[in-house]
Chains A and B, each alone.
Chain A
Amino acid sequence: MNSLWLSRFTATSAIGCGLEPTHAALRQQRGGLAPCAFDTVDLNTFVGEVAGVDSVQLPAHLAEFDCRNNRLALLGLRQDGFMAAVEAAIGRHGRRRVAVLLGTSTAGVLQSEQAYRRRDPTTGALPADFNYRTTHNAYSVADFVRNVFKLEGPAAVVSTACSSSAKVFASAARMMKAGLIDAAIVGGVDSLCLTTLYGFNSLELLSTTPCQPFDTGRSGISIGEAAAFILLERPPSHLDADAVLLLGAGESSDAYHMSSPHPDGLGARMAMAAALKAAGLQAGDIDYINLHGTATPSNDAAEGKAVATLFGDRVPCSSTKGATGHTLGAAGGLEAILSALALQQGFLPGGINTCHVDPAIPIQYLTANRDTAPQRVLSNSFGFGGTNCSLVLGRAG
């Protein structure tokens, strides 16, 4: 695959709005999970809620898009000079040559959940202020972002559960290679809602403590929310040494079960191998792996087997979900950015909340930060329906 330049990126999650607080939280090993006080939820669990989402106001001409998910999207777009970088890219390439490819699992379904509480007692109708297209529909977040920048190029939402915002990198790379576009806004936005909280609860996959990836006592996920945006372009002839490139993407399917991973992590292994192949690299070229690491007993065991088969215990690995929670459809984009920060800032983030690393999983799991400068990193994202995607990112120099 031809390398692509992450010319600008920004992340907003429970550990901070924008890169500076995000980097500081990782350096201090500070997490953003807190007991769930979201909406009317009565579950004994921790969530990674982003502060200040409710007070975000959409511009008047985009008011029809108003919902928690698009407020979170706008909050994310406003960080780190991302909007100015997009405008500059539009100036370079034109409105039709910049795509919007974003991942989400639930978009603004919270609007429907809340509208169902306000049904007309006689007719059962939803309230008149409910707008399905601009909130509930999965495409609403890409439509919103496309409208924010008045873009006229290709756009799509990829919705493959928890691999969504990793797979958008692969779609963007294909569109770029085919010659349809010159730049793409990729990433993902997923926000707290009742469907995922009560849904994971129904599967008995919610932890009652802040989640503990790869811990002997891990007992499930903590759900988080995030907005992650990356501007992808073809690399110019000169790049600073700390510029970050997408070197490869690999995708696969488990073909095994709707909500459980292949027990040996076969699909996960295929995705990682495909990403390495696309990057033209060997397992030995990878300096750090940002694991999917959801902290459910079966996911971590399967991913651990897959990583151990390909990499042995040579490569330092961690899951950052102990800090951010599992941000579902935004996880791939968020964790690509956390991996990019590791490359730029020269450190490996240790996974937090994990006290006793599971000795049955033969990988090198980091619980403390390590001051070593990685050159190339791999980020894993896997999801319901057996969907897998791995990304390889690297420094330009």
Chain B
Amino acid sequence: MTAPRTILTAWIDGIGLMGPGLPDWPTARSILAGNAAYAFSPTLAPPPQSLPPAERRRTGLSVKVALAVAQEAIAAGQLDPRQLATVFASSGADGDNCDAICQVLASDDRHISPTRFHNSVHNAPAGYWGIAAGAMTPATVLCVYDGCFGAGLLEALTQVAAEGNSTLLIAYDAPYPEPLHAARPLPAAMGLALALMPQQSAQSLARIQVSLSDAEPDVLADTGLDALRRAIPAARGLPVLQALARGEARQVVLDYLEPLRLAVVVEPCR
């Protein structure tokens, strides 16, 4: 049964990126454009200065990465975070926190800390972002295992298309320590944020159009970057960022959820 192909459109006004060997979007843009070499190095996420000290002390790696890329995208687009809906997409909650809870629950003394418990929810970064940004707008938090980036992009674009909401997509992942690491081996933390707007503005970097597809997913020519793309769900979005980094109109195909892929057309605004 064939249905008319739906194309979802938005304008990208801000980009945030943080991952192993990719400390921020300006550095990553140069690497993805082929102007600098890629080398893996641990992800260094700063404590979120936008949070009050009490909350800042309680944040784990996934919150730090998610808030860092969200903040970078907002700043780049000169946007008011209180006006944007958010879509968070992550393949897991805070891995260190989960391990700590499981250890305590397997011990003779099962008293877990209240902070550990409220940080265990999948939507902890969304909660901290709301507090940091003062944003009372809708925030959705998805999990689609390895398909998180594609699912987040679809959800964010339906917010833009169906509701006319300016929407910040934040895809992020943080690794588990052992023993869970062996069962879910993510090599490093990574975050990727896109500010997606219903209308073009002076800040707009590119137009993005997304549709469901059967085509083969793009791979990245650089083997180090492609290893990242395969290993971390948020990094499945790197082909889009490479198209943006090169500043040329391109179509890329992203992994999503078998048998579906996403065809993404990026056209720079300037």
Contacts and interface: CB of A to CB of B under 8 A. Distances in A.
Interface in B109-126: 110-114, 116-124, 126
| Most chain A CB neighbours (cut-off 10 Å) among B92, B122, B139, B154 | B122
| Most chain A CB neighbours (cut-off 10 Å) among B58, B91, B127, B137 | B127
A105 B130 contact: no
| Most chain B CB neighbours (cut-off 10 Å) among A119, A194, A195 | A195
B184 A156 contact: no
B3 A94 contact: yes
Contacts of A152: 258-260
A319 to B, nearest CB: 21
B245 interface: no
A256 to B, nearest CB: 7
B121 A157 contact: no
Given A251-B138, A258-B127, A130 B122 contact: no
A126 B135 CA distance: 40
A24 interface: no
A96 B6 contact: no
Interface stretch (B67-75, B174-182, B196-204, B218-226): B174-182
Given A143-B145, A160-B122, A383-B123, A167 B140 contact: yes
A369 interface: no
Contacts of A160: 121-123, 126, 139-141
Interface stretch (B15-23, B100-108, B246-254): B100-108
A349 to B, nearest CB: 28
| Most chain B CB neighbours (cut-off 10 Å) among A130, A131, A140, A160 | A160
A139 B145 contact: yes
Contacts of B147: 139
Interface residues of B, number: 69
Main secondary structure of the interface of A (DSSP, over half): mixed
A188 B181 CA distance: 27
Contacts of A93: 1
Contacts of B120: 195, 199
Contacts of B131: 255-258, 386
A175 B140 CA distance: 14
B33 interface: no
A362 interface: no
B137 A132 contact: no
Interface of B: 1, 3-4, 6, 8, 55, 58, 91-93, 98, 101-103, 105-106, 110-114, 116-124, 126-128, 130-131, 133-145, 147, 151, 154-155, 157-159, 161-163, 178-180, 182-184, 212, 257-260
27 contacts: A96-B3, A112-B180, A119-B106, A124-B179, A152-B259, A154-B260, A158-B140, A159-B142, A160-B122, A160-B139, A170-B140, A174-B158, A180-B6, A180-B212, A195-B112, A199-B117, A199-B118, A202-B114, A202-B117, A203-B114, A253-B136, A255-B133, A255-B136, A258-B118, A385-B123, A385-B130, A387-B139
